[in-house]
Amino acid sequence: MKTNYTFLLPVLVLVTMFSACDKPLPDPLDLADNDFELTGATKYIIAATPVGTSGIADYLLTAADLDQGKITTRGNGMEQEGSYRYYVSNKNRFFSLLYGQGNPGAVTSYKLDATGKLSKLTNFQTETMQVLAPAKDDIFTIKVPRSGNEFATMFRINARKYQIVGEQQANIVKLAGNGERAHFTCAVQTGDKIFIPYMSIKGEPRGGDTFGTKYPDSTWVAVYSYPELRFEKTIRDNRTSFIGNYFVNGMTVTDEGDIYAFSPAAATNNGKAVSTKPSAIVRINKGTTEFDRSYFFNVQQAAGGHHISGQTYVGKGLFILEMYPQPNSLDGEGKKFAVADVVNKTFKWVTGVPDNITSTTPNNYSPKDGKKAYIGITTASEGSYVYVFDAEIAVAKKGLQVEGGTITAINALNY
């Protein structure tokens, strides 16, 4: 099949500023951040919002086992500040980032002490970020304006020094090059590059069709050097739509070093779904900065019309896919799950998942052993459980119960 690629003009000037600023981040708190000899043990960090509350921050709970048992938010856990939190870990540190909804954000970092107790390390104010990802020794973040200001700002926060060690701006209107704006969705670093997919949005002021687009059937990924954050190129495709989604990760590096990119085909214009291309997976091979034109996994076709909503990498080329519940639709509160082998392009629905799901966790945990993934699922009838997914047999079962809370994230640290 002949494929045409006619979206944007060649590389436009993005880089306007770089500063390796080494800005110290204040407020060391509970624990001196000293290394100690690890015991080989693991504790799991579960973020949960107390049931029956509105606008209340998550609590961070810890557990030694995700496969069984029960923990509770009642009189337990470490309360976060602010009601919208996003989480990432790197270098055996756990980071909680406040989304300020246009106001300044904040970053709080944690580690486990030698006894396995979760302790706070630092707390500092930052810009509100829309993208966050581990990258080498850093937490990489981007502040992306949805309208008005034409510049997105990237930050490298060293995950052990708690310092901003790099900063870069990108003109997102020039990057889009089509009269709209490039709105970054996620990022993944491998080797000396960081790949940052984006969706094209109108960026109309509040009350307008801010996230709508006239370009629903294109895929874009900006490629930067890392850690220098020098813009190198934009790579494009037209076999599916944009990668990831607003605050939804759509890219993962597998064991072999290849990047797999997941498109929900969820573009809209004036509130209506307008993508004509299928929800699918595309690939960037290890060591390259182009899409592999020989690879295309039409997940929507394999799933009988269902679109991808999210993904969790399990290892050995296997992913747990979260799928929209109705075929050929982006509507619906319930969710379905499937196992996808991206190398062999196979798809299998997961059994054992409840039907009446009210929420799931976008931030999940897997030991990347090619078998298990742990995903938080909440139902109106039974509350919140960590579900244990077995990717080898496409079966899920209840694991750890989180009493009195709605699970929002699952992570792990060693001590």
Residue 186: what pLDDT?
98
Cα(269)–Cα(273) distance, rounded to whole angstroms?
7
- pLDDT tens per residue, range 375-396: 999 999 999 999 999 999 999 9
**Distance (Å) of CA 286 to CA 199, 255, 257, 258:** 23, 10, 5, 4
CATH tag, 15-40+84-296: 2.130.10
Indicate the pLDDT class of residue 83, thresholds 50, 70 and 90.
Answer: confident
Residue 9 has pLDDT above 50, yes or no: no
Whole-model pTM: value is 0.90
Q: Are 65 and 54 in contact (CB under 8 A)?
A: no
Q: E strands within 68-206?
A: 70-72, 78-79, 85-90, 93-98, 105-112, 118-126, 131-135, 138-143, 151-158, 163-171, 181-184, 188-190, 193-201
Cα(85)–Cα(97) distance, rounded to whole angstroms?
5
- pLDDT tens per residue, range 189-247: 999 999 999 999 999 998 899 999 999 999 999 999 999 999 999 999 999 999 999 98
Residue 13: what pLDDT?
34
> Which of helix, strand or coil describes residue 238?
coil
Cα(407)–Cα(45) distance, rounded to whole angstroms?
11
Provide the percentage of residues in the chain whose pLDDT is more than 90: 79
How many degrees, rounded to 5, is the angle at CA 114 between CA 108 and CA 118? 30
